[in-house]
Amino acid sequence: MYKKKLLIVLLSIASLVTFTACDLDKGNEKDDITKKLSIVTTFYPMYEFTKEVAGDRADISMLMTPGTDVHGFEPSAKDVATINEADIFIYSSSAMETWVGSLMNSLDSENLIVVRSANNSEFIQSENSQKNQNSVITENDGNILNEEDVPETIEVKGLSGHYHTGDVVQLVAEPKENVSSDKFQWYIKTDQGNWVAVEDARFDKFEYTTTGKNFETKVVLYNSKGEQLEKSKSISVIIDDHNGLDPHVWLDPVLAQDQVDRIKAALIQADPAGKSYYEKNAQLFNSELQKLDQEYQAAFDSADKRVFIVQHQAFGYIAKRYGLEQVSVGGLSTEIEPTASRISEITNLMKKYDLPIIYYQHGENSSIAKTIAQETGTDIEVLYDLEGITQDMQDQGVDYITLMRKNLQALKLSVN
Torsion angles phi and psi, residue 154, rounded to 5: -75, 125
- Helices (runs of H) and strands (runs of E) counted in the chain: 11, 18
Query: By three-state DSSP, how is residue 291 classified?
Result: helix
Cα 307 to Cα 318: distance, rounded to the nearest angstrom? 12
239 DSSP 8-state letter: B
150 DSSP 8-state letter: -
The CB density around residue 76, as the number of other CB atoms within 10 Å, is 10
State whether 116 and 254 are in the same domain.
Answer: yes
Q: What is the pLDDT of residue 55?
A: 98
Cα 372 to Cα 19: distance, rounded to the nearest angstrom? 77
Q: What is the pLDDT of residue 199?
A: 85
State whether 93 and 41 are in the same domain.
Answer: yes
215: CATH:
2.60.40.10
**What is the domain extent for residue 199?**
130-237
In contact, 236 and 201? CB cutoff 8 Å: no
Query: C-alpha 299: how far from its chain's center?
Result: 26
The answer to whether residue 1 sits within a structural domain is no
State whether 173 and 88 are in the same domain.
Answer: no
Residue 161: C-alpha distances to residues 125, 158, 239, 337, 338 (Å): 22, 10, 9, 14, 17
In contact, 103 and 75? CB cutoff 8 Å: yes
The burial of 136, by beta-carbon neighbours within 10 Å (0-12 exposed, 13-18 middle, 19 or more buried), is given as buried
Cα 285 to Cα 283: distance, rounded to the nearest angstrom? 6
The answer to whether residue 92 sits within a structural domain is yes
State whether 172 and 87 are in the same domain.
Answer: no
Cα 168 to Cα 250: distance, rounded to the nearest angstrom? 27
Give the ranges where 88-245 is alpha helix by DSSP (H): 100-104
The CB density around residue 374, as the number of other CB atoms within 10 Å, is 11
Residue by residue, DSSP assigns 373-400 as HHHHT-EEEEE---S---HHHHHTT--H
The answer to whether residue 271 sits within a structural domain is yes
Query: By three-state DSSP, how is residue 42 classified?
Result: coil
Q: What is the pLDDT of residue 50?
A: 99
60: CATH:
3.40.50.1980
Report the DSSP pairing between strands 215-222 and 88-91.
unpaired
Cα 376 to Cα 336: distance, rounded to the nearest angstrom? 23
The CB density around residue 115, as the number of other CB atoms within 10 Å, is 21
Q: Which amino acid is at 99?
A: W
State whether 335 and 400 are in the same domain.
Answer: yes
State whether 168 and 202 are in the same domain.
Answer: yes
State whether 81 and 136 are in the same domain.
Answer: no
Q: What is the pLDDT of residue 243?
A: 57
State whether 353 and 325 are in the same domain.
Answer: yes
State whether 319 and 374 are in the same domain.
Answer: yes
The answer to whether residue 25 sits within a structural domain is no
Query: By three-state DSSP, how is residue 144 classified?
Result: strand
The answer to whether residue 19 sits within a structural domain is no
Cα 59 to Cα 40: distance, rounded to the nearest angstrom? 9
Cα 398 to Cα 410: distance, rounded to the nearest angstrom? 16
State whether 273 and 189 are in the same domain.
Answer: no
Closest among 155, 150, 151 to 174, alpha carbons compared: 155
Asked which of 219, 237, 255 is the last residue of a domain, the reply is 237
Residue 272: C-alpha distances to residues 49, 85, 269, 280 (Å): 19, 20, 6, 14
In contact, 317 and 123? CB cutoff 8 Å: no
Q: What is the pLDDT of residue 193?
A: 86
State whether 62 and 134 are in the same domain.
Answer: no
Question: Tens digit of pLDDT per residue, the chain (416 long)?
Answer: 444 443 333 334 344 444 444 444 434 433 455 689 999 999 999 999 999 999 999 999 999 987 787 877 889 999 999 999 999 999 999 889 988 998 999 999 999 999 999 987 788 876 554 444 444 555 555 588 988 889 999 999 988 766 766 778 889 999 987 665 568 999 999 888 889 999 888 889 998 878 767 889 999 999 888 899 999 999 888 776 555 688 999 999 999 999 999 999 999 999 999 999 999 999 999 999 999 999 999 999 999 999 999 988 899 999 999 999 999 886 545 555 667 777 888 898 898 889 999 999 998 888 889 989 998 999 999 999 999 898 899 889 999 999 999 999 999 999 98
Q: How many domains does the chain have?
A: 3
Q: What is the pLDDT of residue 315?
A: 96
Residue 295: C-alpha distances to residues 86, 253, 407 (Å): 37, 10, 12
The answer to whether residue 155 sits within a structural domain is yes
Q: What angle do CA 298, 127, 186 make, to 5 degrees?
A: 155
Which run of H or E residues covers position 250?
none
State whether 272 and 309 are in the same domain.
Answer: no
Q: What is the pLDDT of residue 340?
A: 78
